């Protein structure tokens, strides 16, 4: 029986491992060549997605919500905060109106022309200057045409003769751009003093100027009217009389006088005078 040669077996094994190493080297070389030919394509990077902030419903969270305060519009009539301003009351009706003497511009003639005053003395309740404009600058020296005699008389004399329980002074808007604060307050102080001198029991009410309409193209603006009305209210405070904030009461949602209340955009027409009287009746002095 033939014996295996150990040297021969070792040679075969070495030959086998040498061949395996050569094959591995060839495979590595082949892989490198293949990669260089095909090119290396890196895997695309994943973009980071920004986290979406969680939206919390204030109603679900129980947090209080706040409504931004509206910005006042200069052209809109502002409500008076004067301590002299009359508060809203129950309707005084015709009984209250019949006790008032009205001093104002020619638009007040509508009160008699349309029979809006129904008292026995209604014919002598409305007093208008000869020029038909109650000028803010000369309130203290203005004379009024008597609806009874036709004579021109100052407000103090009207009160001395007739002793009305209430007097409402409703000036014209026409010269609102020409008046100064000091001139206006001085004029009101002198006028009120002349009335109270003749009858201290008379309740004097200073009505605000009324707004203009949004379509009005004249020089008078609601911004200027707001400012002058503030001066009138201050004059009422200084002289311990009442202030009627008719401007704010008559202004529409847009802050202007409704178009139907005026025929020319600045002076009250029939509908406007009716609305103005409603304001007067529902703001009765206490």
pLDDT digits (tens, 9 = 90+) for 187-206: 999 999 999 999 999 999 99
pTM for this one? Answer: 0.75
- Of 113, 101, 207, the closest CA to residue 162 belongs to 101
N-to-C CA span, the chain: 148
Backbone angles phi, psi at 143, to 5 degrees: -110, 155
Cβ atoms within 10 A of the Cβ of 285, count? 16
In contact, 77 and 102? CB cutoff 8 Å: no
pLDDT-derived band at 123 (thresholds 50, 70, 90) equals: very high
263 has a pLDDT exceeding 90? yes
CA distances in angstroms from 144 to 8, 169, 203, 271, listed in the order given:
151, 12, 19, 25
Q: Note the pLDDT of residue 116.
A: 95
Q: What does the pLDDT average to over 100-106?
A: 96
The pLDDT tens digits of the residues spanning 127-168 come to: 999 999 999 989 999 999 999 999 999 999 999 999 999 999
Q: How far apart are CA 262 and CA 273, in angstroms?
A: 9
Handedness of CA 115, 121, 123, 124 (dihedral sign): negative
Residue spans of the domains in the chain: they are 93-281
Q: How much is the mean pLDDT over the chain?
A: 86
The residue among 106 and 68 whose pLDDT is bigger is: 106
Q: Note the pLDDT of residue 23.
A: 72
User: 93-281: what fold?
Assistant: Rossmann fold (3.40.50)
239 has a pLDDT exceeding 90? yes
């Amino acid at each position: 029986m033939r014996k295996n040669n150990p040297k021969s077996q070792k040679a075969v094994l070495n030959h086998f491992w040498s061949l395996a190493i050569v094959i591995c080297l060839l495979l590595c070389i082949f892989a490198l060549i293949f990669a260089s030919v095909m090119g290396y394509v890196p895997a695309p990077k994943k973009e980071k997605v920004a986290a979406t902030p969680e939206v919390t419903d204030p109603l679900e969270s129980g947090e209080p919500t706040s409504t931004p305060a509206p910005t006042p519009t200069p052209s809109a009539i502002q409500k008076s905060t004067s301590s002299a301003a009359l508060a809203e009351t129950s309707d005084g009706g015709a009984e209250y109106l019949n006790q008032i003497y009205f001093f104002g511009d020619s638009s007040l003639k509508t009160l008699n022309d349309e029979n809006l005053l129904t008292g026995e003395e209604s014919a002598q309740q409305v007093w208008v200057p000869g020029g038909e404009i109650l000028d803010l600058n000369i309130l203290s020296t203005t004379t009024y045409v008597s609806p009874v005699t036709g004579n021109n008389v100052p407000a103090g004399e009207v009160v001395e003769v007739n002793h009305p329980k209430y007097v409402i002074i409703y000036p014209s808007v026409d010269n609102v751009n020409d008046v100064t604060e000091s001139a206006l307050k001085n004029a009101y102080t002198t006028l009120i003093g002349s009335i109270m001198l003749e009858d201290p029991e008379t309740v004097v009410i200073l009505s605000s100027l009324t707004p203009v309409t949004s379509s009005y193209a004249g020089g008078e603006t609601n911004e200027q009217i707001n400012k002058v009305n503030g001066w009138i209210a201050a004059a009422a405070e200084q002289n311990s009389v009442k202030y009627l904030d008719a401007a704010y009461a008559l202004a529409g949602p847009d802050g202007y006088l409704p178009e139907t209340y005026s025929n020319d955009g600045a002076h009250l027409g029939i509908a406007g005078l009716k609305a103005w009287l409603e304001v007067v009746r529902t703001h009765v002095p206490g």
